[in-house]
Structure 1
Amino acid sequence: MKSYFRTEIAGMEGYVPGEQPKLENLCKLNTNENAFPPSPAVKRAIAELDWERLRRYPDPLADALRDKIAEVFGLKRENVIAGNGSDDILTMLFRCFTSPELPMACLYPTYSLYPELAKMQGAAVIPVPLAPRTFELPGDLLKRVEKANLLIITRPNAPTGNSFPLETMRELCRNFDGVVLFDEAYADFADDNCMEFVKEFPNVIVSRTFSKSYALAGLRLGFAVGSPELIAGMFKVKDSYNLDRMTQALGLAAFSDRAYLKECSEKIRTIRKDFTERLENLGFQVVPSQTNFVFAAPPDRDGERCFRALRDRAIIVRYFRGPETGDYVRITIGTPKEMDRVITALREIYANPGAN
Structure 2
Amino acid sequence: MSNFLKDSLKNAPPYIPGEQLTGVIKLNTNESPYSPSPKAIAAIEKETNKLMRYPQVDANDTRKALARRLNIKPENVFVGNGSDEVLRLCFQAYLEFGSKAAWSTPTYSLYEILAGFAGAKIIDVRRRDDFTVDIEALAKAGADLTIIASPNSPTGTLTPLNEIDELASKVKLLLVDEAYADFAGITASKLIDKRKNLIVARSLSKSYSLAGLRVGFAVADNSIIDDFMLLKDSYNVSRIANAAAEAALDDTAYFETIRMRILSTRRRLEEGLSKRGWKVFESGANFVFAVPPDRDGGAVYKRLLEKKILVRWFGNDPRTAVGVRITVGTDEEISRLLEVIGE
* TM-score normalised per structure 1: 0.93
Alignment gaps of 5+ in structure 2? none
What is residue 136 of structure 1 aligned with on the other side? 132
Task: State yes or no: 1:252 paired with 2:252.
Answer: no
What is residue 39 of structure 1 aligned with on the other side? 37
The separation in 2 between residues aligned to 1:214 and 1:191, in whole angstroms, is 14
- The code of the aligned residue for 1:170 comes to D
SS in 1 for 2:318: coil
What is residue 71 of structure 1 aligned with on the other side? 68
Aligned residues: CA RMSD: 1.4
What is residue 88 of structure 1 aligned with on the other side? 85
Change beyond 3 A, Cα 1:283–1:9: same
The separation in 2 between residues aligned to 1:139 and 1:149, in whole angstroms, is 16
List aligned pairs for 1:142-153, cutoff 5 A. 142-146=138-142, 148-153=143-148
Shift in Å, 1:125: 1.3
Which residue of the other structure, out of 179, 203, 206, is the alignment partner of 1:209? 203
Shift in Å, 1:77: 1.7
What is residue 107 of structure 1 aligned with on the other side? 104
SS in 2 for 1:224: strand
Task: State yes or no: 1:56 paired with 2:50.
Answer: no
The separation in 2 between residues aligned to 1:216 and 1:234, in whole angstroms, is 22
The answer to whether the 8 A contact 2:99-2:119 is kept is no
Which residue of the other structure, out of 326, 340, 353, is the alignment partner of 2:335? 340
Which residue of the other structure, out of 221, 231, 234, is the alignment partner of 2:228? 234
List aligned pairs for 1:180-329, cutoff 5 A. 180-321=174-315, 322-329=317-324
Relative to structure 2, which stretch is displaced further, 205-214 or 259-268? 259-268
The answer to whether the 8 A contact 1:202-1:227 is kept is yes
SS in 1 for 2:96: coil
Count of residue pairs brought into register by the alignment: 342
Shift in Å, 1:10: 0.3
The percentage of aligned residue pairs carrying the same residue is 40
What is residue 29 of structure 1 aligned with on the other side? 27
- The code of the aligned residue for 2:255 comes to L
List aligned pairs for 1:15-26, cutoff 5 A. 15-23=15-23, 26=24
The separation in 2 between residues aligned to 1:277 and 1:50, in whole angstroms, is 44
Change beyond 3 A, Cα 1:219–1:143: closer
The separation in 2 between residues aligned to 1:75 and 1:191, in whole angstroms, is 17
Shift in Å, 1:62: 1.1
Shift in Å, 1:144: 4.0
Shift in Å, 1:47: 2.7
* TM-score normalised per structure 2: 0.96
- What does the per-residue CA deviation read over 1:224-256, in whole Å, with 9 as the maximum and x for residues that have no partner? 010011110111110111111111111111111
The answer to whether the 8 A contact 2:102-2:146 is kept is yes
- What does the per-residue CA deviation read over 1:159-193, in whole Å, with 9 as the maximum and x for residues that have no partner? 001111221111111121x1111111000100422
- The code of the aligned residue for 1:41 comes to K
The answer to whether the 8 A contact 1:128-1:144 is kept is no
SS in 2 for 1:192: coil
SS in 2 for 1:175: coil
The separation in 1 between residues aligned to 2:138 and 2:48, in whole angstroms, is 51
Shift in Å, 1:112: 0.4
The separation in 1 between residues aligned to 2:148 and 2:162, in whole angstroms, is 14
Alignment gaps of 5+ in structure 1? 349-356
Change beyond 3 A, Cα 1:80–1:143: closer
- The code of the aligned residue for 1:324 comes to R
The separation in 2 between residues aligned to 1:114 and 1:209, in whole angstroms, is 16
SS in 1 for 2:193: helix
Shift in Å, 1:140: 3.2
